[in-house]
Structure 1
Amino acid sequence: MSSQATSPKPDVRFASTGSSPYAVLVALFCVIIVLSNIVAAKPIEIGSGDVISIGAIRLWPLIVDGGLVLFPLAYVIGDVLSEVYGFRAARRAVITGFACAVLAVATFTLVGAIPGAAFYENQAAYEAVLGPVGQIVAASVVGYVAGQLTNAWVLTRLKARTAERGLVGRLLASTGAGEVVDTFLFCAIAATAIGISTGGDFLNYFVVGVVLKVAFEVAVLPVTVTVIAALKRTDPTY
């Protein structure tokens, strides 16, 4: 009786989190999360002229928040962490970033509650700029934890099937899934904190946010692939 041949299991490898590049990437990841939460308090309108809409979605001018400047890099680093170090390592970075964001909000709140010096005249400005950060961080934490874990889970599940093949495909798939989850949850919670009050503006904020973030990550995809390749080549634990 002949036995049916089975295909060999893909050789799925990950590097050790004890390596120094992992610590540097996590530190950079956390800085990006904290800074993005602060600058997200400022809404940005890109473009001028007549409003262009399709149904309820306003296509022009674009409405984004300041977090768009830096936050997409968090997904680039998340892709690198997931691909090189695995889901558990990426999850550890997400939790660390969450803790840093909470610490930042607690610090802003405490400092805001402490009476300023007699000559300090910017208390109202301080509260106006950093006051919404608590709501924005709540939105960011919910969105970014769900989005980053979705991103890491999709990427590592795809890697379990293809091993070292199909890197670009899994980077794009995981980024798209993570950004949709992240941006929708963030927009739903933080919209009122930055002045988004209508359904059309919300759809604009969400759709444009996803498109621009994914477009950014597609643009820097060659850099992401190069960094991943360099870490795999140079880290002796991979």
Structure 2
Amino acid sequence: MTSAIRYRNYDVVLAFFCAFLLISNIAATKLIQFGTESFPIVTDGGAILFPITYILGDILAEVYGLKLTKRAIWIGFVCSVTASVTFLLVSLAPPAKDWDNQAAFEAVLGFMPRIVLASLVAYLVGQFLNAWVLVKIKQRTGEAKLWVRLLGSTVVGEFADTAIFCLVAFGGLIGVGTMANYIVVGYLYKT
């Protein structure tokens, strides 16, 4: 297989991987609740897109191998840190005299560094665990049983990611019951 064929579409998958990661981080600044008062379902706005990063991570690991998957994970990490630092600096910069939206900007993007910290820690642990489990299962089963690799790696990676993210992002800000609901709902939704 030639190098050009081997790496075809890697940049496209990588671009979507990074885009879904960044959009999910911004959307995660808002907790949302569905269901009823007696049976609430708590999640965040990023939960809609974030699972796609795991699907793309699986595609990267399966098609391009662990080395290029690690590269994609680190690129996503750098993109998220860059976005977080940018939002923090812009938030700290003095607003224009006639601009009345500083409080709104800070309410959404000012919380972003905590979300990004939570996301980055969870992301690194979850993505590396996901890729490692997928590769280890593949080493044991060979090319057969793709579904076992994909399901097994996603179940492990998503649980680590979800629990770490929820605890770091909203720990101390919401009650224990809401936190447990948030972790369980997030995990079940993502997997």
User: Are 2:178 and 1:207 equivalent residues in the alignment?
Assistant: no
Counterpart amino acid of residue 172 in structure 1: L
**Letter matched to residue 8 of structure 2:** S
Answer whether contact 1:16 1:85 (CA < 8 A) is retained.
no
The alignment partner of 2:43 has SS state of strand
Identity score, percent = 46
- Structure 2 counterpart of 1:95: 74
Report deviation, 1:86: 1.1
The answer to whether the Cα contact below 8 Å between 2:125 and 2:160 also exists between their aligned partners in 1 is yes
The residue aligned with 2:142 is: 163
Query: Any idea what SS the aligned residue of 1:46 has?
Result: strand
Correspondence for 1:37: 25
Q: CA deviation at 1:104?
A: 0.2
Unaligned 5+ segments in structure 1 are 1-12, 52-59, 215-238
Give the 3-state SS of the residue equivalent to 2:99 in structure 1.
coil
- Whose helix proportion is higher, 1 or 2? 2
Structure-2 change in CA distance of 1:20 and 1:140 (3 Å): same
Q: Give distance in 2, aligned partners of 1:178 and 1:141.
A: 14
The alpha carbon displacement at 1:18 in A equals 6.5
Q: CA deviation at 1:211?
A: 0.5
How far is the alpha carbon of 1:163 from its aligned partner? 2.1
Q: How many residues end up aligned between the 2 structures?
A: 190
C-alpha displacement at 1:201, in angstroms?
1.1
Q: 1:108 aligns with which of 87, 90, 99?
A: 87
- 1:64 aligns to what SS in structure 2? strand
Taking a change above 3 Å as real, the CA distance of residues 47 and 17 of structure 1, as seen in their structure-2 partners, is farther
Q: 1:47 aligns with which of 25, 35, 43?
A: 35
Q: TM-score, normalised by structure 1?
A: 0.76
CA 1:158–1:112: 2 relative to 1, 3 Å: same
Give the 5 Å matches for 1:76-155. Answer: 76-155=55-134
- One-letter code aligned to 1:39: A
Residues 122, 162 of structure 2: 8 Å contact kept: yes
Structure 2 gaps of 5+ residues are: none
- Counterpart contact for 2:7–2:64, Cα < 8 Å: no
Which amino acid is the alignment partner of residue 63 of structure 2? V
2 CA distance for matches of 1:110 and 1:66? 23
Pick aligned residue for 2:158 from 158, 175, 179:
179
Structure 2 residue corresponding to 1:64, chosen from 35, 43, 50: 43
What is the aligned partner in structure 2 of residue 232 from structure 1?
none
What is the distance in 2 between the residues matched to 1:78 and 1:179? Answer: 11
Q: Deviations over 1:207-232 (max 9, x none)?
A: 11101110xxxxxxxxxxxxxxxxxx
Amino acid at match of 1:97: G
User: Normalization by structure 2: what TM-score?
Assistant: 0.94
Verify the 8 A CA contact 2:34 2:41 in the aligned structure 1: yes
2: CA distance, partners of 1:142 / 1:113: 24
Alpha carbons 2:134, 2:153 under 8 Å: kept: yes
Larger Rg: 1
Deviations 1:99-142 (A, max 9, x none): 00000011111111222222111001000111111001000000
